[in-house]
Structure 1
C-alpha cells in the first residue's frame, strides 16, 4: 500500500512566538517526517523563526483563510505532497504518531477528503463547540460528519485540486463550512477522528473583535453561495433566532446585525448551490444544511 506524502501549513501573525516554536518542534518530532512545512506570516516578517521550514512572509494580513491559501498554493505547486495538514499556531501535537495515522487513513480510503482532529485543552477536555456534529455529548465518537475544525485538520490534495481552496475573502468565520459543503457536494468524505489530537488552550471565539460582524456576514455569504434558493430563508431564519437567543450584549447584537446586512448587500463570490442529493446526504449524516 502506497502511503501519501504529508505536507503542513501553519499561519501565524507573530503574536505567539513560544507557542509557535513548540508547535513546530512537535511537528519535527513526528515519527513520519513531513515532506514540506510551509509557515505563512500574516503581516509578519518571520525573522525570529529559526526553524528549517519554508517561510512565506506577507506584507498584509489576509485573514486565516487567505493566509492558508498562500501556504496551500505553495505546497500544491511543489508537487511533493498528497495530504496537507493545517494547524493553528497556538496548537500542539502531543503524540508523535499523528502523521503516520493520517497517512494510513488516506491510504485506506481514496474518497476521504477531510479529516477533522479532536481539539482538547491541556487537561484533555474537548469543548462541545469543537465536536463537529449536533450531538456533541461524546467527543470520542468517531465517524463521518458534515463539518470539521479549522484548528487541526487534514486535506486531500486530489480533493483540493477538484474543489479549490479556501474562500479567502471570508477573512474570518465559516470558511470551514464553505469548504466542507463543497467537498460533500463533490462526493468526498469528511471524517472526525478523535485519536488525532491537537492540544489547544480553551478559548471563546468571541475573543476576536470582528467575531460578531464577520460571522454574521459570512453566514449570509455562505447561504447565498452554497444553498438551493428554497433553503436560504430557512437557514438564515434559524440562525437569526439562535443568535438572538445567544448574544447577551447590545454591542454584540449591533455588530451581528451590521454584519448580517453587509452579507446581504455585498458580493459573496460565485454562486454554486449544492445538489439536493447532497442535502439528503447531509441529513442522513445527522446535520442537514439548516443549522
Structure 2
C-alpha cells in the first residue's frame, strides 16, 4: 500500500514575516517532502513572501478568519486530487524535527480510520502549557493516545475524512472550530490521535491577546452546542462553561465581551444543526472527556 501524499496549508495575515519565513524553511527541510503547500493570505497580498516552487500563494482581499482561510487551502488541495493528508500549521509555529511529515505518513498508512493527528505544541524551551494538552488530565503532555480534541496550531487531517465530515466551520471565524470538526469526525467514526512525538514549536502567548477573544469564545461555544449537542446536553454544557468562565475571567471588560458574545451566540444563526449521536457521547466519555467540559 503506497504511503499517503502530504499537503500543507498555512494561513497568515502578514504580521509575522520572520516567523513565517522560518516556518516555510522548516517545511522545506522535511525528509518526506510535501506534494503541495498552500499559503493563504488573509487580507494580505503576500507580495513580499519568498516561497519554494511547490508553494502556491493565495492572497485574499478580505480576512476570512482562521477556519475560512484554511478552507480555501483545503479546497485547492482537495480539488487537485494529489493529496491524501493535509498538515495545517500556525504561521508563528516551527517544525523542529525533519522527520515530522514522514511520521505523519506512517501513522495514517497504518490505520485507515485515523482521521486527525494532533501535534504536541511546545515553547522554545520545550515546555507544553496546560491548555495545549487535549485531555482533561494534563499532568503528562507526553502521554500518547486517542483523544476527543486537537490543537489548531499543528495537526494533520485525513482527506477522506474531510470529504465525509465537511471542512471547517468558516462562520466561527476564530475559536472552537477545532471542537466542531473533532465532534463531527468522532460522530462519523473517525479516530483522533494525540502524538506528542510530533512537535510544533510555538511561542507561549495567551489567546486573549486577540482583541475579540472573549466575544468569539463565548459566541462560538454557544454555536458549537446548538450545532452538535443533543438537546438535553445543551443547557448542561453551557451551564458548566458559564460557571467556569465566571471563575476565570477577572476583568469587567472581559466579562462584558464574553456575555456579549454569549447573547450573540443565542440570537444569531449558527449554521446547520446536526447533533451527535448518543453513542458518540458515550464514546467521548470513555475516552475521558464527555461533551460537557
1:54-75 superposed Cα distances (whole Å, 9 cap, x missing partner): 0000000000000000010010
Q: What secondary structure, in the 3-state scheme, does the structure 2 residue paired with 1:103 have? A: helix
Measured after TM superposition, the shift of residue 261 of structure 1 is 0.3
Superposed CA RMSD in Å reads 0.4
Measured after TM superposition, the shift of residue 259 of structure 1 is 0.3
Measured after TM superposition, the shift of residue 50 of structure 1 is 1.4
Match of 2:174 in 1: 172
> CA–CA distance in 1 between the matches of 2:142 and 2:51?
33
Flag structure 2 segments of 5+ consecutive residues without an equivalent.
none
1:91-110 superposed Cα distances (whole Å, 9 cap, x missing partner): 00000000000000000000
TM-score w.r.t. the length of structure 2 is 0.99
**Count of residue pairs the alignment pairs up:** 291
TM-score w.r.t. the length of structure 1 is 1.00
Match of 2:141 in 1: 139
Match of 1:233 in 2: 235
Match of 1:80 in 2: 82
Measured after TM superposition, the shift of residue 219 of structure 1 is 0.3
Flag structure 1 segments of 5+ consecutive residues without an equivalent.
none
Match of 2:16 in 1: 16
Counterpart of 1:198 (choices 183, 200, 203) is 200
Match of 2:271 in 1: 269
Match of 2:7 in 1: 7
Measured after TM superposition, the shift of residue 49 of structure 1 is 1.1
Match of 1:66 in 2: 68
1:8-36 superposed Cα distances (whole Å, 9 cap, x missing partner): 00000000001000000000000000000
> CA–CA distance in 2 between the matches of 1:104 and 1:254?
47
Aligned positions of 1:106-125 closer than 5 A? 106-125=108-127
> CA–CA distance in 2 between the matches of 1:271 and 1:38?
30
Match of 2:39 in 1: 39
Match of 2:286 in 1: 284
